[in-house]
Each structure stands twice: as C-alpha cells, then as structure tokens.
A and B are shown apart, each in its own frame.
Chain A
Amino acid sequence: MISQQAKDSIERIFLYSARTRLPVDSSDACDITALDAQQANTALASHIVVLTISSIAFRFLLVLHFNDDQATRDYYLRESEERSLAEALMEVGNLCCGAINQQLVEFFPDLGMSTPYQLSGACVPYLTELKPGYLAAFRVSIGANVQLGATLCICASSPVDFVAYVNEAEESTGELELF
C-alpha cells in the first residue's frame, strides 16, 4: 500500500533531516548507512527514543537508538554532565522528526507530531506487531566516535504515494517570523 517512490521519498527526507539535525554542530561529520531488511527490527543500542507523526492515511514512527556511553555523553552533554543524556537525545530526536514533519506537510496538509518518549532497546523487535508497510534501519555515525541507530516505520491504512526531493537550499530555521 506504500508505493516504492513513497518509500524512497521518505528515506530521502530522513537522510536530509538526520544529517542536518542529529549533529550538534552542522560542521560535524554524519555518516548514515542503510542496514539490510533482516536487521530492520533489531535493537541497535540499549536505549531508544520514539516519535510519531500522524496523518489521516498513515502514521510514521522514528526510533533513535543510543547507548549511554562516554562518547555519546561527551558529544551531546558537552559542558554539563549533570544533564540527562536521554533528555538530550529526546530533544535531538524531536528536532530530526520536526524536520521530517516540515517536509511531509507539503504533501499531507493534515499532520500532527507527538512528543518524544524514551524506552528500552528491547522494545524494538515488537515494531512488527504494529503491522508496518515499511520498516527500515540505519546506522548513524556522528563526529569522531558517536554511534547511533535509526529505524523508520510506516503503518498505512490507505494507499500512500508521493514523490519528494529535498530542496537543500530551503532552510529557513532559526529565523524569527514576526506577526
């Protein structure tokens, strides 16, 4: 029910959103590799952050996998070690999913996004219980040594078909729009 070009489009949108929102500094390296289909519903780390985008025809889940290790803490918590790594990753996930939302809203005008929630990596295999029409996993390497994972999951209740190419020049974030 989800056309191949819709799947390709969502992947393009995710790659762009991840590259521009997951790193703390835009100049940091961000390498994303797709994993093969068998690994689509495996846990890629011990903790996950989940976000949902809902539209009338489908729902989209973004799962960000991370480990509570020194490399990740150093990268995302910078100065303040007392801050919660989970909260930092929830905000990063929120930014990434927000960027995906902004791209999708051009094709699906009625869209809503949830707030992020933290769960255990052991929950990931149960994504199949949602009966997704599309499930794909990626490994994300940020900066020198931060390893994250990402899983995209789409459950569709009616046919989903669209073509999206990301216009990389159209970044208008951070600007204050006065009413």
Chain B
Amino acid sequence: MVDQYVIAAALAGVAWGALAGLFVHRWWYRKRAAAQRQTTVDAQSTALAQAEERHAAEVRQHEQQARELHALVDTLRDDLAQQSVSAEEAREALNALHLQKDEWLQQATRLSTEAGRLRHLSATFERWHEQMISLMSQNHDMHAKNNELSSIVRHVLIVSLNASIEAARAGAAGRGFSIVASEVRSLAARSQELSKSYHDSLNRNDLITTATFQDIQAGGKMIAASLASVEALAGQIQSRLEQATT
C-alpha cells in the first residue's frame, strides 16, 4: 500500500510537473508569439511607411515627368512651327537655285567655248616661232658676214705690213707711203678689235634670243595645256549641270 501511494504521489508529482511545465511553456510560448507578433506588426508598419514614402516619391517623379513631357510637347510644337517656316524658305531657295542653274549652265557653256577658242592661241605662238627662226637665221648671216669681215681685216693687216716693208725698201721716197701704211695698219687693228667684240655680241645675242624664244615656245605650250584643263573642267561642269534633274 505504501508503494501505491508512493507511485501515485510520484505520478501526481510528475503530472503536476508536466502540467506546470506545460503551462510555463505555453505562457512563454504565448509571450514569445506575442512578441513576435509585435515585431511583425512593427515591421509591417515600417514597411508600410516605407511603401507609402516610395509611393509618394513615385508620384512626385511622375508629376515631374508629366511636367517635362508638357515642356517637351511645347518645344516640339515650336520646332514644328519653325520647320514649317524653314521648309517654305527652302522651297523658295530651291526655285531660285533652279533659275541660277540655268544661268550657270549658260555661263559654263560660254566658258567652255571661250577656253576652246583660246586654245587656238597656239597659232600665235607658231607665228612667233617662225619669226624666231627668221631672226636666228639673220643672226647666222651676221656671224658669217662678221667672219668674212674679220678675214678681210686680217688680210688688210698683212697687206699693210707688206706695204710698210716695201715703203722701207723705197727709202726716203717711200716715207709718205709708209705713214699711210702704218695708219692703215692701226685702222685694221681697230677693225679687228671691233670685229672680235661684234663676234662676242653676236654670241651673247644668240644665247639670249634662243633662251627668250624657247621660253615663249615652252610658255605657249604651258598656257595651251592649262587652257585645255580649263576647257575640260568647264565641259564637266556643263554636262553635270545638264544632267542635274529637277
């Protein structure tokens, strides 16, 4: 019988313990759940507040964007108005250009014709060239004549020398003649100097004449080549203007 009481008491103790434990557990659990619920509520409040704040910010942003869009629309409206004006001006300018194009085409045609005409300048250069040949051949003649003169003068010198010798042989009778011979000799010497100087002048003349006329001949070709380029360019402008369609 004692055992039964002991066991019953033990059992009861255990039961009370368990119950107490259960109550404590449940109380602690409820307290914790409440705390958790409070935390959740707090968190949700914060989240809500944040959400409201974000929402407000978005609304402000949207309002801002709306304002910007309105401003943009106004700007576009102004641009469109301006561009209509520009389009009108461009149309007028295009009409003016068409008129100008016709004018330019006429000018280009005239330019082309003129350049083509000037190419025949080469005929003038040919004339100059013929005259140069004629001048050079005259120079050549002068050289020949000068050489002949030179040889005559040399001959005169020899003759005058011989004359002096003869005059000396004739003694007193030949003195007058000797003076003449001596004068002839000095004249011949001067002629010889002149002839030599003339020879130098002819050479100088030859070189400068040749150089000048070659410059004219070469220069003429340079001009003809340049004019041919101009004519070609003018022709190109002409054909491009003719091709340009309305």
Contacts and interface: CB of A to CB of B under 8 A. Distances in A.
Interface of A: 50-56, 59, 61, 109-115, 117, 119-120, 122-124, 126-127, 129-130
Which of A61, A114, A124 has most chain B Cβ within 10 Å?
A: A114
30 contacts: A50-B210, A50-B211, A52-B211, A52-B214, A54-B214, A54-B215, A54-B219, A54-B221, A61-B214, A109-B229, A110-B222, A110-B223, A111-B218, A111-B225, A112-B218, A113-B218, A113-B221, A114-B215, A114-B218, A117-B136, A120-B203, A122-B199, A122-B200, A123-B203, A123-B204, A123-B206, A123-B210, A126-B203, A126-B208, A130-B211
A50 B214 contact: yes
B171 to A, nearest CB: 46
Contacts of B220: 112
A124 B204 CA distance: 9
Interface in B211-237: 211, 213-215, 217-226, 229
B231 to A, nearest CB: 14
A55 B222 contact: yes
B222 A114 contact: no
Given A54-B218, A55-B222, 20 more contacts: A50-B211, A52-B211, A52-B214, A52-B218, A54-B219, A59-B215, A61-B211, A110-B225, A111-B218, A114-B214, A117-B210, A119-B206, A122-B199, A122-B203, A123-B207, A126-B203, A126-B207, A127-B207, A130-B208, A130-B211
Contact of A110 (B206, B213, B226): B226
Contacts of A61: 211, 214
Chain B binding surface, main DSSP class: helix
B222 A56 contact: yes
B209 to A, nearest CB: 10
Nearest to A101: B218
B217 A115 contact: yes
Nearest to A121: B203
Contacts, number: 77
B204 A117 contact: no
B226 to A, nearest CB: 5
3 interchain residue pairs of minimum CB distance: A112-B221, A112-B222, A52-B214
B39 to A, nearest CB: 89
Contacts of B206: 119-120, 123
Contacts of B208: 126, 129-130
Nearest to A119: B206
Contacts of B210: 50, 117, 119, 123
Contacts of B200: 122
Contacts of A124: 207
A130 B211 CA distance: 8
Nearest to B222: A112
Contacts of A114: 213-215, 217-218
A118 to B, nearest CB: 9
